[in-house]
Amino acid sequence: MLGFQSFEELAEINLNTSAIGTTGTSNDRQKFITEIEGKGEIKDLEAIWICRDGREIFVRESAKAFYDSDGNILWYDGTVEDITHRKNMEEALRESQQLFETLAITSPVGIFRTNPDGQTTYVNPRWLELSGLTAVEAMGFGWLKAVYPDDRKQLDIKWKSDVQSLMSSAAEYRFVRPDGSIVWVMGNAVPEWIGDRVAGYIGTITDITERKQAELALRKSEEKYRSIFENVQDVYYETSINGTILEVSPSINILSKGQYQMHDLIGKKMSDFYAEPEERQVILSELQAKGAVTDFEVTLKNCDGSFVPCSISAKLVFNLDGHPEKIIGSMHDITDRKNVTEALKLAKEKAEASDKLKTEFLNNISHEVRTPLNGIIGFAEIISMQDLSEEAKKETTAMLFESSNRLLNTITNYMDISLITSGNLSVNKKDFIATSILKKIFNNFEYVCLNRRLELFLEIPDQSEDYYINSDPEICKKILSHFLDNAVKFTEKGSIHFGFNRKAEQLEFYVKDTGIGIGPDSFSTIFDRFAKENQGQHKVTEGSGLGLSIAQGMAEAIGGVIRLESEPGIGSCFFLTIPVKQPSGVSSPQSPVRDLKKSKSGSLILVAEDDETNFYYLNAVLTKETGAKVLYASNGREAIELFKANPDIKLILMDMKMPEIDGFEATRQIKLIEPDVTIIAITAHAMSGDEERIIAAGCDGYLSKPINKKSLLEKMAEFVSIR
């Protein structure tokens, strides 16, 4: 820095200084003179000086003028500073800035600059495009507004820390643009040094959205397949070519029923787990020949010796040289499939057996219906012959009744087995005395045994009147009747004994015969439907083969137990055991007896029956046996009107299924008019539970069709006096 007293002096110095030439350009000199003469001083005036060697330098001049008493300038006192280096630096920086801004405008990446505090001072168009902000919004720390909320706080802390530490900064973060779209960017910034000071930061942001999406997709894919690998029910495995297990999925624990974990198998030989080692040799041969095998069934063994049927699919994996490198595959537990196959096999066998059974059933029902029908039609024709003797007529009538009863039993059996099979058998338990049903059974079979020259014995223990049973009396009666029917059919000579014994809290009914007996091998099948033991020369064709299966089904329905003792050639004994109820100390309830005056002219019985044939039969029996006058109603409505018109009616035989108004409704209405009138239901409904439904409607008694004279008169005698 130089000092001078006057411009001339300054000029002289300049002229004599080797480093400096003239006092600058004419413009700069004139500006210096004008300002100092006008103001008396000049401060920090920048000018260009030309050196003697022709070089131009930049100087900064400051000077003050000194005046005489007349106001004339005497001299100048000032300094001159060479600022060429600084001016050159500023020019270089300006050119650099121009170049920077030119390049930034066309740059494919976002570019930004900040001041030393890290506040944004410049962003290029690409930066604005990526962020979605305007240039004004991006200035200072406003750029953070575009950062995804979850990334904002951490990024702000990191950026300010890096700025404070004068460190380079790098970070991945997300922008949320105004339209809601997300842009992933990679930000990098470095300090911008000028001399020994940081003038700010210059940085870039690069769009890495596609890369992040690819990374995310890859991560999701890895997670997905890892999840599949870890959770799939099938077992994935890899082995070396020589069979060493390299990898196996966790589902091996499921397939092995908890006996193996992944780590138990890695490094082991695959062949060690085959129940049949030759199965693996077959798989290897298939792989060698075809490169893959699909759904090959094998049996694997667990460490406890148990076996798991599996389906294996596998393929060879080759290296870049085309040589087999390893085997990959999957195993699937096919236990259920095997079970289904076995079940289908059994179902097929069962269907075939069912088809055979159906054929047998149709053949059986055809035989069991046509045979007694043939007897009924044939014997009816014989009876009609005029020259038939009384003895022959008596025998023919007996055979006609026997054929009718056989047909009725066949139909009843088919109805009962249908109820048992469908699960619709109704059980109506009530208290009753065991001897009451045994006596009825004895009466039903006494005549049959007499015709077959068999002795029938009813064995009742002492004090049997105290033995109450809480069960279904009709079902008990049917079970024992099937036992007796079986005994009659298979006993050619001898006797049949039936009765019961008290055993603790149970009654054990029995039916014992001296018949052909049953072999032990048949004990398990004799209760099957249509089952008949092969008795060699004792060929028995009568019967549907349903009796014992019906008895078994009914016994189960009432909680009873059937057992059998038998010896071929000696006889059989069937037992039915059911719980007994403690004596109640009261007599068995009896049906109330209503007094119907002995038949004489004017006594009335109403028969409500829509079938004229049935009425013809009932009218004939009632007229002959009671002498009463019989009124006829063909439907429920007529029955109600006739009863209203004839209040002297004391007994009504009511068919339950009639047109217009059925027997149920007719009974209810008549009982409302006269509760004491006796109504006995006569119906073709003979299913279990029908009697209870009929009694609930108001009927006093119940008879199922077909009706014979004996059963009709016995049922009437329970309620009215008949002659």
- Cα 681 vs. chain centroid, distance in angstroms? 50
Instruction: Please write the tens of the pLDDT for every residue from 307-362.
Output: 888 888 899 999 888 888 899 888 888 888 888 888 888 888 877 766 776 676 66
Q: 330 and 312 in contact (C-beta within 8 Å)?
A: yes
Axis-axis angle for helices 390-422, 547-557 (nearest 10) = 50
For residue 593, being part of any structural domain is answered with no
Q: Is the pLDDT of residue 716 over 80?
A: yes
Q: What is the pLDDT of residue 93?
A: 58
In terms of domains, do 328 and 345 share one? Answer: no
* Banded model confidence at residue 695, pLDDT cuts 50, 70, 90: confident
Residue 592 lies in a domain: no
Answer whether residue 312 is part of any domain.
Answer: yes
Mean pLDDT throughout 121-129? 90
- Please determine, for residue 594, whether its predicted confidence score (pLDDT) is greater than 80: no
The answer to whether residue 218 is domain-embedded is: no
CATH number at residue 437: 3.30.565.10
Question: How many angstroms separate the CA atoms of 67 and 71, rounded?
Answer: 5
Tell me, what's the pLDDT at 61?
Answer: 85
Pairing of strands 430-433, 468-471: antiparallel
DSSP assigned state of 511: E
Instruction: Tell me, yes or no, whether 329 and 262 share the same domain.
Output: yes
177 and 202 fall within a common domain: yes
534 and 566 share a domain?
yes
Band (483; pLDDT cuts 50, 70, 90)? very high
Final residue of a domain: which of 213, 241, 264? Answer: 213
Q: How far apart are CA 653 and CA 678, in angstroms?
A: 9
Domain end among 295, 311, 333: 333
Segment 489-536, tens digit of pLDDT: 899 899 999 999 888 788 899 999 999 998 887 777 788 766 555 554
The pTM for the full model equals: 0.46
Q: Are residues 101 and 208 in the same domain?
A: yes
Three-state DSSP at 714 gives helix
Domain membership flag for residue 184: yes
Residue 319 structure tokens = 């290296």
Q: Are residues 279 and 182 both part of a single domain? A: no
For residues 672 and 611, membership in a common domain is answered with yes
- Residue 25 is part of which domain span? 2-82
CATH number for the domain spanning 693: value is: 3.40.50.2300
Q: Is the pLDDT of residue 24 over 70?
A: no
Q: Is residue 710 part of a domain?
A: yes
* CATH number of the domain within which 257 lies: 3.30.450.20
Question: Based on the domain organization, do 133 and 6 belong to the same domain?
Answer: no
The Cα–Cα gap between 163 and 202 comes to 11
pLDDT score at 99: 54
How far, in whole angstroms, is CA 121 from its chain's centroid?
66
- Regarding beta strands 197-207 and 110-114, do their DSSP bridges make them parallel or antiparallel, or are they unpaired? antiparallel
Q: Does one domain contain both 446 and 545?
A: yes
What confidence score (pLDDT) does residue 321 get?
86
Q: What is the mean pLDDT of residues 283-311?
A: 87
Residues 6+ apart with CB under 8 A from 591: 700, 701, 718, 719
Residue 407 lies inside a defined structural domain of this protein: no
Return the percentage of the chain with pLDDT > 70, whole number.
84
Q: Whole-angstrom Cα distance, residue 152 to residue 288?
A: 59
Residues 691 and 630 in one domain: yes
Last residue of a domain, one of 82, 107, 122: 82
pLDDT above 90 for 148: yes
Structure tokens at 343: 């079940």
Residue 587, pLDDT above cutoff 60:
no
pLDDT of residue 466: 66
Same domain, 574 and 432: yes
The predicted structure's pLDDT at residue 571? 92
Please list, in sequence order, all residues whose beta carbon lies within 8 angstroms of the beta carbon of residue 398, skipping any fewer than 6 positions away: 451
Residue 21 has pLDDT above 60, yes or no: no
pLDDT at 176: 94
Instruction: Write out 306-370 in H/E/C secondary structure.
Output: CEEEEEEEEEEEECCCCCEEEEEEEEEECHHHHHHHHHHHHHHHHHHHHHHHHHHHHHHHHHHHH
Tell me the per-residue pLDDT of 240-278, one tens digit each, with 9 for 90 and over. Answer: 988 898 988 887 877 787 788 878 888 888 888 888 888
Q: Are residues 463 and 329 in the same domain?
A: no
Residue 694: the pLDDT is: 86
Task: Show the beta-strand stretches assigned E in 135-181.
Answer: 169-176
- What does the pLDDT read at residue 547? 83
Spatial distance between the Cα atoms of 487 and 445, rounded to a whole number of angstroms = 11
Residue 90, pLDDT > 80, answer no
Task: Tell me, yes or no, whether 135 lies in a domain.
Answer: yes
- Count of domains in the chain? 6
Distance in angstroms (rounded) separating the CA atoms of residues 90 and 46: 14
